[in-house]
Amino acid sequence: MSNIQCRVEECHYNQNELCQASTIEVNAMVKDHMVSTTRDTSCETFVPKVKMQ
């Protein structure tokens, strides 16, 4: 099991601030792909939690 921290409370894969996805995909969000900060990246593995009503 990997130890990938996740602080996105709304993500289905986040359990106790650890990502439980079997694989993850992180992409550059800038056109030239010259990433310099975390804001230039995006976790494509994100799946919203289903809210119980």
Q: pLDDT tens for residues 17-50?
A: 999 999 999 999 998 889 999 999 999 999 999 8
Higher-confidence position of 15 and 2: 15
Q: Residue 1 above 80 pLDDT?
A: no
- Reported pTM: 0.78
Question: Where exactly are the structural domains of the chain?
Answer: 1-47
3-state DSSP call for residue 39? helix
Q: What is the Cα–Cα distance from 51 to 53, expressed in whole angstroms?
A: 6
Q: What is the Cα–Cα distance from 8 to 49, expressed in whole angstroms?
A: 10
- Residue 19 · residue 1 · CB < 8 Å: no
pLDDT single digits (tens) 6-20: 999 999 999 999 999
Confidence (pLDDT) at 44: 96
